[in-house]
Amino acid sequence: MAGEGQWAAAKHGGRRTRGSKKLHLGVDRSGTIVAHALTEVTVDDASVGADLIGRPVASVHGDAAYDTVAFSDAARARHA
């Protein structure tokens, strides 16, 4: 028995592999998106995060993926 994805691939031709992407967002205090980047899953979160901080910011919040010296230095350079 095939699952729905396997059935659709067989019906519509071929077996495609799905690629995954990561969407990185920078938001301000009101929740407005002020920066974004779409990357492959293999890209380091902290390096993308450092690039997203493009102007002086009051604070920076992120999970453990952003806990690197490079990201901290980028945030500190922008007085966060």
φ, ψ (nearest 5 deg) of residue 22: -120, 135
When pLDDT is averaged across residues 38-43 and rounded to a whole number, the result is 92
When pLDDT is averaged across residues 52-73 and rounded to a whole number, the result is 82
38 pLDDT tier (thresholds 50, 70, 90): very high
What does the pLDDT read at residue 17?
A: 61
What does the pLDDT read at residue 18?
A: 65
Which among 3-7, 37-41, 70-74 has the top mean pLDDT? 37-41
11 pLDDT tier (thresholds 50, 70, 90): confident
Domain extents in the chain: 19-77
